[in-house]
Amino acid sequence: MTRPDHGICFAGDGTEDLFLSLVPRAKSMPRCDPRGDACIEVDGQLAYVEVKRASHATGAKQVRAIKFIPLVVWTESRGDRPWAVLSAVEVTKLILRRHRGLHTELPLECSLIPPKSIGRRFWHPGADLQDAVIEAVRESRRYPTLATEMARLLTEIRSLRDGHASAVLRAMRSDDPAFQYQLALGEEPC
């Protein structure tokens, strides 16, 4: 069943539902929740997971390594091992190689991951998905310094965004005193 309140442009609905059916310990998150698409309790602590659908032609879009959460990618054409599960560390390693992100200069902020760039050891059948997700969460937690740095970088990017938006607005008003526009700083669009 497709949830009408979940997924970017509702494209991931079926994938997220399939993930939830194969990972009974996972729970869905509200639409546009910046923490992730699903959450799962691992070793007594809640962890967030991003779930993406990918094809060999388009890859997994809008992957945000900066969130530092595990990534689960479903690629239907992969036969009996359609699920890739990457810890936050592995996502960071894949994206760090890039010089530019998806519609941004910062690859850690938003990138595309083609399925062919994901190593064979990360692909799993549905029956192994829950165990793979739990291990990806545990591996991510073994890098607290990296997690702290990613959180610092995200805070810095948001501060830059707000500062530059204010500066551009001041410049617009300086050039055109009739210009009327209100910034919604700090709000996260869906």
- What does the DSSP 8-state code read for residue 42? E
How many angstroms separate the first and last alpha carbons of the chain?
22
The reply to whether 115 falls in a domain is yes
The reply to whether 172 falls in a domain is no
For residues 16 and 52, what is the distance between their CA atoms, to the nearest angstrom? Answer: 8
The reply to whether 182 falls in a domain is no
The reply to whether 173 falls in a domain is no
The reply to whether 157 falls in a domain is no
For residues 48 and 28, what is the distance between their CA atoms, to the nearest angstrom? Answer: 10
For residues 53 and 12, what is the distance between their CA atoms, to the nearest angstrom? Answer: 6
pTM over 0.95: no
- What does the DSSP 8-state code read for residue 76? G
Q: Which domain holds residue 60?
A: 8-142
- How many residues belong to the chain? 190
Q: Answer whether 66's CB lies under 8 Å from 97's CB.
A: no
Q: pLDDT tens, position by position, for the chain (190 residues)?
A: 344 443 344 455 689 999 999 999 999 999 889 899 999 999 999 999 999 999 888 899 999 999 999 999 999 888 889 999 999 999 999 999 888 888 888 999 999 999 999 999 999 999 999 999 999 999 999 999 999 999 999 999 999 988 888 888 888 888 887 776 655 555 554 4
With a CB cutoff of 8 Å and minimum separation 6, the contacts of 145 are: none
The reply to whether 130 falls in a domain is yes
The reply to whether 168 falls in a domain is no
Question: CA nearest 49: which of 130, 170, 111, 156?
Answer: 130
Domain CATH for 121: 3.40.1350
The reply to whether 155 falls in a domain is no
- Single-letter code of the amino acid located at 55: S
Sign of the Cα pseudo-torsion (57, 61, 66, 67, in order)? negative
User: For 167, how many CA atoms within 13 A lie in the half-sphere containing its CB?
Assistant: 6
Question: CA nearest 38: which of 22, 20, 52, 24?
Answer: 20
Number of domains in the chain: 1
Q: What is the DSSP string of 91-109?
A: HHHHHHT-SS-SSSS-TTT
